Chains A and B, each alone.
Chain A
Amino acid sequence: MRHIISLLMENEPGALSRVVGLFSQRNYNIESLTVAPTEDPTLSRLTLTTKGHDEVIEQITKQLNKLIEVVKLVNLSESAHVERELMLIKIKATGAQRAEIKRTTDIFRGQIVDVTSSVYTVQLSGTSDKLDSFIQAVGTASILEVVRSGVTGIARGDKILSV
């Protein structure tokens, strides 16, 4: 099963390499990773998605917690949460395709953020599944370039992850 693990860590050089290194060192799988400083500049929030049996996920969270720079950690998948990923996608848009892509973008509640005579650049956010579906709907034949941010997320309700 896919898990979204989100953590607060010291915003220090080398901290990220410890997290990433842990995954290769212990043969854990890492599917996506996103990291940026928080409103407190001494802290970074890192969110990653990984897959594995429950025992493996338990080890991953324990080993992450053991890293000295990791302050707090939550497995978002264990409870209700909001999950988002941002995608920028360049699509061949000529002739009749132009209208079709515009319609599909509207259906997915995306925005066309850049236009040339032959290309649309679409911005889309949502769950990873939604982004996958959009790619499928447009069809890989007309896709020129895809950039995805990786998954980020936050717990629903009163639950917060803070120091």
Chain B
Amino acid sequence: MSSVLLPCLAKNLLNLAADAVGSLVEVDNVELLSGAEMVVRSLRDEGVKYIYGYPGGALLHIYDALFKEEELTHVLVRHEQAATHMADGYARASGKAGVVLVTSGPGATNAITGLATAYMDSIPMVVISGQVPSAMVGTDAFQETDMVGISRPIVKHSFMIKDPREIPEVIKKAFYLAESGRPGPVVVDIPKDMTDPTKKYEYEYPKKVKLRSYNPATRGHSGQIRKAAELLTSAKRPIIYSGGGVILGQAAEPLTELAKNLNLPVTNTLMGLGGFPGSDRQFLGMLGMHGSYVANLAMHHADVIVAVGARFDDRVINGASKFCPNAKIIHIDIDPASISKTIRADIPIVGPVEAVLSEMNSVLAETGDKPAKEALNSWWKQIDEWRGERKMFPYDEGDGSIIKPQAVIEALYEVTQGDAYVTSDVGQHQMFAAQYYRFDKPNRWINSGGLGTMGFGFPAAMGIKLHYPDAEVACVTGEGSIQMNIQELSTCLQYDLPVKIINLNNNALGMVRQWQDMQYSSRYSHSYMESLPDFVKLAEAYGHVGIQIERLEDLKPKLAEAFAMKDRLVFVNVVVDPGEHVYPMQIKDGSMRDMWLSKTERT
């Protein structure tokens, strides 16, 4: 039969033929696939290796197509929230979008926390959600929820499939949007009838897509970059303040080059750790609410601040009206809406941080300009005075009768030689991990910075371990956070994901308790954890290894023992001082330099 003659009829016949044999038919290099098969094939053609999900009624056609798929591995989580965090953890470590598959209704709503987490931290992610059949949308059908509506404020964009033939193009667009410009999560909602296995259509995965309404900047404005270079080299007290954009935008290298070339001090946001080597002399530590004394002071007294891929978050700037009174601000960001949002920029530069910094480096190389040596030397002298002889984050080490949480992170750093992927949940343990683990490389520190999602760390660690099986992956958590996704211990057994869980167990929701100590006269309203499980036995019940650490002298050897078990998930439950606080802590509505340094001293 010629496909030139009566093409319509020919296609119909082919459709019938495809149905009859129940598999795809290839004619003239055009494959005929059902909507469900197109979803799976599009993901494969996009280069996706793993997807995380949970089946349900609206997804069954897609799951059936997955059953026949060999190159794509599906990871069955125990709760959809964990699927989103797994995808997120992978995305943060690799820079590529993670893929999630959830069913309609509760499957979709369970993915919401993970979507919001990814949205706040600009993490590329594609969430494919099942939906009730098109004809039933809007009728309050079983397991129906308006996923596009519910997720609208926490996605970069979303699609609902109206015709199965759109599937390849929409999926291509979803990845393009998720990964380009300022990255973010994208939802593709697919009504069940769009994946009907009996209806086949021509399949072709587009190589490229273009959207007339979406054109993210590919480079910065050269005039602005030149102006910024001039301002920077005329500075007496310059500082680089860099954030998560440097990690996402793969700009650690040009950033380090800029800092090294001009001998500039560097501070990172919580999201930006690893963007500049954490053990370098020029690194002043994290800044902000729990930032280092020296970083916050240096910011306050700076005359030129180069903000790179950072967004002047309220947890960084403290009181906006008192923020860095003498500083001129150069702000480099891919998202124009992040510039001058909370703090006015003197020189805004919209563009990918990597391209902008590289161009700035070449401008500086060309002119050979550098900040005046004398001024810079006295600035460094001042910084070193602030830094003093003590640790970057000094703490009272006590008499050794009880383990301090800070000591656990220091031990973790030593045992893993500073080379692990470290994920965290949210609270005191997160701040301790950020303060005491010195990240020398980008993409190694994985935490929910913007949304502050408890239950994030463990699934995120799983997503990383799946893709980087040879790397050490440690999840620093607390007994509150870990219980928000502890069911994933089961997933880890099924897929053999030997991550290490370091549980800083202080029998309390530590950060809440700290605020209650500081602001509510230690009235511990619902911040302590009664009837905690025996975590060692719990880990064992799930088929893993549990280790209990109660004495300081056991800390390093037992941590080393845990990491020596390369092929086992080890849950390390460390009993730590419940009275410990995270310091420094900025004083509300003050300037950058207004901080509590311990329970009794302040600046």
Question: Using a CB–CB distance below 8 Å, which chain A residues touch chain B?
Answer: 9-10, 13-14, 17-18, 21, 25, 55, 58-59, 62-63, 65-66, 68-71, 163
Contacts and interface: CB of A to CB of B under 8 A. Distances in A.
Q: Which of A62, A71, A163 has the most CB of B within 10 A?
A: A62
A152 B213 CA distance: 22
Contact of A66 (B149, B211, B335): B335
Given A14-B160, A65-B336, A68-B177, A21 B152 contact: yes
The 4 A-B residue pairs whose C-beta atoms are closest, nearest first, are A62-B337, A71-B213, A68-B157, A25-B153
Given A66-B335, A66-B336, A68-B214, 7 more contacts: A14-B158, A59-B337, A62-B336, A65-B336, A68-B177, A69-B213, A71-B212
Contact of A18 (B152, B160, B214, B336): B152
A45 B310 CA distance: 34
Interface string B380-407: 0000000000000000000000000000
Nearest to A71: B213
A28 B148 CA distance: 22
B337 A14 contact: no
Nearest to B149: A17
B200 interface: no
Q: Which of B157, B160, B211, B213 has the most CB of A within 10 A?
A: B213
Interface residues of B, number: 18
Contacts of A17: 149, 152
A66 to B, nearest CB: 6
Contact of B153 (A21, A62, A68, A69): A21
Contact of B213 (A9, A55, A58, A59): A9
B152 A58 contact: no
Contacts of A18: 152
A55 B213 CA distance: 24
B116 to A, nearest CB: 12
A69 B212 CA distance: 9
User: Does more than half of chain B's interface fall in helix, strand or loop, or is it mixed?
Assistant: mixed
Contacts of A13: 160
Nearest to A63: B337
Interface of B: 148-149, 152-153, 156-158, 160, 177, 211-214, 335-337, 340-341
25 contacts: A9-B213, A10-B213, A13-B160, A14-B160, A17-B149, A17-B152, A18-B152, A21-B152, A25-B153, A55-B340, A58-B340, A59-B337, A59-B341, A65-B336, A66-B335, A66-B336, A66-B337, A68-B156, A68-B177, A68-B211, A68-B213, A70-B213, A71-B212, A71-B213, A163-B212
Nearest to B158: A14
A4 to B, nearest CB: 20
Contacts of B336: 62, 65-66
User: Does more than half of chain A's interface fall in helix, strand or loop, or is it mixed?
Assistant: helix
Nearest to B177: A68
Contacts of A66: 335-337
A162 to B, nearest CB: 12
A57 to B, nearest CB: 12
B142 to A, nearest CB: 23
A17 B160 CA distance: 14
Nearest to A69: B213
Contacts of A69: 213
Contacts of A68: 156-157, 177, 211, 213-214
A55 B344 CA distance: 9
Contacts of B340: 55, 58
A131 B215 CA distance: 40
Nearest to B173: A68
Contacts of B213: 9-10, 68-71
A18 B213 CA distance: 14
B156 to A, nearest CB: 7
A14 B148 contact: yes
A100 to B, nearest CB: 49
B583 to A, nearest CB: 33
A55 B152 CA distance: 24
A9 B157 CA distance: 14
Q: Which of A62, A63, A68 has the most CB of B within 10 A?
A: A68
B177 to A, nearest CB: 6
Contacts of A10: 213
A21 to B, nearest CB: 5
Nearest to B148: A14
A25 B151 CA distance: 12
Contacts of A25: 153
Nearest to A58: B340
A98 B486 CA distance: 77
Q: Which of B158, B337, B340 has the most CB of A within 10 A?
A: B337
Contacts of B341: 59
B479 to A, nearest CB: 34
A59 B160 CA distance: 28
